[in-house]
Amino acid sequence: MTDGPFTDTLPTEDFTLSLPDGRQLAWAEYGTADGSAVIYFHGAPGSRRECLPTTTLAAVLGLRIIVPDRPGYGGSSPRPGRSVADFADDVAALLDHLELKQAGAAGFSGGGPHALACALRLPDRIDRLGLVSSLAPFSDATTQGMPESLQGFWQLAATDADAFRATLNDGLKATGGPYELLLAGAPPEDQAIFSNGMTEAYADSLTEGIRPGLEGMVSDGQALTADWGFTLKAPHCPTHLWHGTQDLNAPIGMGRWLAGHLGGATLTEWPGMGHFALLQQWDQILDAFAEPTTP
For residue 64, what is the enclosing H or E element? strand 63-68
Phi, psi torsion values for 166, nearest 5 degrees: -65, -40
Structure confidence by residue, pLDDT tens digits, 226-283: 999 999 999 999 999 999 999 999 999 999 999 999 999 999 999 999 999 998 899 9
pLDDT at 93 over 90: yes
- Average pLDDT for residues 173-191, to the nearest whole number? 89
Which residues 6+ apart lie within 8 Å of 176 measured at CB? none
Lowest mean per-residue pLDDT among 40-44, 98-102, 278-282: 278-282
pLDDT at 36 over 50: yes
CB 109 within 8 A of CB 133: yes
Q: How many residues does the chain have?
A: 295
Query: Which pLDDT score, from 0 to 100, does residue 4 have?
Result: 35
Beginning with the edge strand found earlier in the chain, give each strand of the sheet holding 24-31 in spatial order.
15-18, 24-31, 63-68, 36-41, 103-108, 126-132, 239-244, 266-270
Report the predicted TM-score, pTM, of the whole model to 2 decimal places: 0.94
Structure confidence by residue, pLDDT tens digits, 199-213: 788 899 999 999 999
Q: How far apart are CA 258 and CA 5, in angstroms?
A: 38
Domains in the chain (CATH in brackets) are 15-290 (3.40.50.1820)
Lowest mean per-residue pLDDT among 44-58, 140-154, 280-294: 280-294
For residue 19, what is the enclosing H or E element? none
Ramachandran area for residue 86 (φ above 0: left; ψ -120 to 50: alpha; else beta):
alpha
**Bridge partners, residue 33, by sequence:** none
What is the SS3 assignment for 283? helix
User: Using CA atoms in the order 115, 53, 238, 271, what is the torsion angle rounded to 10 degrees?
Assistant: -100
